[in-house]
Amino acid sequence: MAIFGATRYIHAIEMIDIDWLKSLGVRCVLMDRDNTCVPRDSKVAPPAVMDWIERVHDAGMTTCIVSNNFHSKQVERSAAELDSGVIHHAMKPFPFAVRAALRKMGVRPDEAILIGDQVYTDVWAGNLAGVRTVLVRPQCTTDLWYTHIMRIGERIILHGQTFEGE
């Protein structure tokens, strides 16, 4: 089950220690959009997420949203708001979009980390692409119908897993 295991489990994206990212040699933070940076029932990132991403940039790291969302204008608007690169229509868990993001941002897999809220898309794609992964809790319970089904399997995989910051 290592393919489904994250490097770290942290309650929310804004709780990720930027000094920890720097100590890993991270130059680029790849992020899922829906329920990681932006709540699924909202169009904008919460102020705490925006502040965290600003601190990531201030630390000299770049960011890129890698989203399965097919509403490209919405994803691009979020990326612009967060001063991030963007790859939409990612088709995670396939690793192709993660690799495209690495090329776009000019970093190697060992210089990146992927942060997301889903095991079967974000963590799996990051692991297949050879980047470290952080699984965060979803920002809200609103999800697409098929994501609700996937969350059942996630609960089995994550049974007993603790998330830092809870």
- Residue 153 maps to which CATH number? 3.40.50.1000
Q: Identify the sign of the CA torsion 134, 159, 46, 93.
A: positive
Whole-angstrom distance, CA of residue 116 vs CA of residue 7: 12
For the cut 60, the answer to whether the pLDDT of residue 81 exceeds it is yes
Whole-angstrom distance, CA of residue 157 vs CA of residue 152: 9
Asked whether residue 163 is domain-assigned, the answer is no
Asked whether residue 109 is domain-assigned, the answer is yes
**15 lies in which domain range?**
2-157
| pLDDT more than 90, % of the chain | 75
If one counts the domains in the chain, the total is 1
Among 10, 15, 8, 79, smallest CA distance to 51 is for 15
pTM exceeds 0.85: yes
For the cut 60, the answer to whether the pLDDT of residue 127 exceeds it is yes
Asked whether residue 68 is domain-assigned, the answer is yes
Asked whether residue 164 is domain-assigned, the answer is no
Asked whether residue 128 is domain-assigned, the answer is yes
Asked whether residue 162 is domain-assigned, the answer is no
| pLDDT more than 70, % of the chain | 93
| Residue 150 CA neighbour count, 13 Å, CB half | 15
